[in-house]
């Protein structure tokens, strides 16, 4: 009885941890909007740099650098983490750019279709089974992308780039035998020569915004580190405690919150075409969710 109560408490804690991660990821556009005077590329550079610094402090406090050194000796894992480093940096940069250019609705669309892209990659690269529900969901997503292209009068490259880069990141990270925080440190540390060099060059030339505008800007740029590391730590803690199907449901919190922020707070348009495309994606995600629930019940 006590063991069951302990398990239920652990699962409840897992839900809170995972939900906390997705809520932070959903609200993060509000944070980036506090720095409208800093170009998206510079914001991305600072995000990578300060994330590496924060995670390094956490790992040092936990005495985990011995494990990092062990991973560094594994050439295959390092090569994989270099690939994931480039993918996640590109994803971060495009997402920040989407906020700066008032395209958060399209970015939210990209993160809604991300699970469907991940399913397609699993079928194509990992030989996962193509069920009727999955096939229907992928076809619905294709129709939604076509409608999105019609509504935008251009190919929705932003949404698709976000979806495919994050799905590819998830695929490669799945193949790397490394803990999440250890992996994140290596991914960001790989780019430290570039990010630290850029920050130094900008400072010398007087082109950067760190230590040259005001203390509020400096603090906000530094906060990019914990704003990146904290939700990932919460996500990892939650993922260890709850079912994958539960995690799947919770992941829709993030793009939903971002979509509400985009329309209600940032004033981005949400047209009938948007309603149709998002409706198709929501229906596709419902099919996948129902299939997952039914499979777990059996």
Tens of pLDDT, residues 33-75: 999 999 999 999 999 999 999 999 999 998 888 888 888 888 9
Q: Is residue 223 within 8 Å of 53, Cβ to Cβ?
A: no
251 pLDDT band (50/70/90 cuts)?
confident
Buried/exposed code over 244-281 (b: 16+ C-beta within 10 A; e: otherwise) = ebbbebbbbbbbbbbbebbbeeeebeeeeebebbbebb
249/253 Cα distance (integer angstroms): 8
Give the residue numbers spanning the domain of 142: 2-297
Residues 176 and 84: beta-carbon distance below 8 Å: yes
pLDDT over 70, % of the chain: 94
CA distance 253 to 55: 25
**Around 298, how many Cα atoms within 13 Å sit in the side-chain half-sphere?**
5
pLDDT tens-digit map of 148-200: 877 777 788 999 999 999 888 888 888 888 888 888 899 999 999 999 999 99
| Domain count for the chain | 1
User: Cα-Cα-Cα-Cα dihedral of 192, 195, 200, 202, to 10°?
Assistant: 180
User: Ramachandran region of residue 130, left (φ > 0), alpha (ψ -120 to 50) or beta?
Assistant: beta
pLDDT greater at residue 144 or residue 1: 144
Structure tokens given for 111: 């993160």
Does 266 have pLDDT greater than 90?
Answer: yes
What pLDDT score does 244 carry?
Answer: 61
100 contacts: CB under 8 Å, gap ≥ 6: 32, 36, 39, 40
Closest CA to 156 of 96, 94, 87, 100: 94
Task: State yes or no: pLDDT of 31 exceeds 60.
Answer: yes
Q: What is the pLDDT of residues 279-291, one digit of tens each?
A: 988 988 888 878 7
Write the pLDDT tens digit of every residue in 198-224: 999 999 999 999 988 899 999 999 999
Average pLDDT over residues 4-32: 85
Task: State the chain's mean pLDDT as an integer.
Answer: 87
Backbone angles phi, psi at 268, to 5 degrees: -75, 145
pTM of the model: 0.89
Mutual orientation of helices 157-175 and 75-100 as an angle, nearest 10°?
Answer: 160
The token pair that represents 197 in the structure block: 């060099």
Q: Which of 106, 46, 248, 81 is nearest to 173 (CA)?
A: 81
Asked whether the beta carbons of 165 and 91 are under 8 A apart, the reply is yes
Distance CA 67, CA 194 (A): 24
């Amino acid at each position: 009885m006590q063991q069951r109560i302990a398990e239920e408490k652990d699962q409840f804690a897992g839900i809170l941890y995972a939900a906390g991660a997705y809520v932070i990821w959903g609200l993060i556009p509000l944070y980036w909007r506090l720095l409208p005077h800093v170009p998206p590329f510079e914001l991305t550079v600072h995000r990578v740099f300060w994330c590496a610094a924060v995670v390094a402090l956490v790992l040092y406090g936990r005495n985990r650098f011995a494990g990092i050194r062990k991973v560094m000796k594994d050439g295959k894992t390092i090569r994989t983490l270099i690939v994931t480093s480039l993918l996640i940096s590109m994803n971060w940069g495009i997402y920040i750019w989407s906020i700066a250019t008032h395209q958060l609705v399209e970015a939210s669309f990209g993160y809604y279709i991300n699970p469907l892209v991940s399913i397609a990659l699993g079928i194509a690269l990992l030989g996962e089974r193509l069920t009727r529900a999955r096939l229907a969901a992928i076809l619905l997503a294709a129709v939604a992308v076509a409608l999105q292209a019609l509504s935008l009068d251009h190919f929705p490259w932003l949404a698709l780039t976000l979806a495919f880069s994050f799905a590819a990141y998830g695929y490669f990270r799945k193949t790397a035998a490394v803990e999440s925080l250890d992996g994140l440190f290596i991914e960001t540390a790989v780019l430290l020569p570039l990010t630290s060099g850029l920050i130094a060059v900008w400072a010398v030339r007087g082109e950067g915004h760190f230590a040259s505008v005001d203390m509020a800007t400096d603090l906000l740029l530094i906060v990019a580190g914990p704003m990146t590391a904290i939700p990932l730590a919460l996500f990892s803690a939650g993922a260890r405690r709850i079912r994958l199907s539960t995690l799947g449901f919770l992941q829709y919190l993030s793009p939903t919150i971002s979509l509400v922020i985009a329309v209600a707070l940032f004033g981005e348009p949400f047209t009938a075409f948007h309603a149709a495309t998002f409706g198709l994606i929501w229906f596709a995600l419902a099919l996948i969710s129902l299939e997952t629930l039914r499979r777990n019940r059996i």
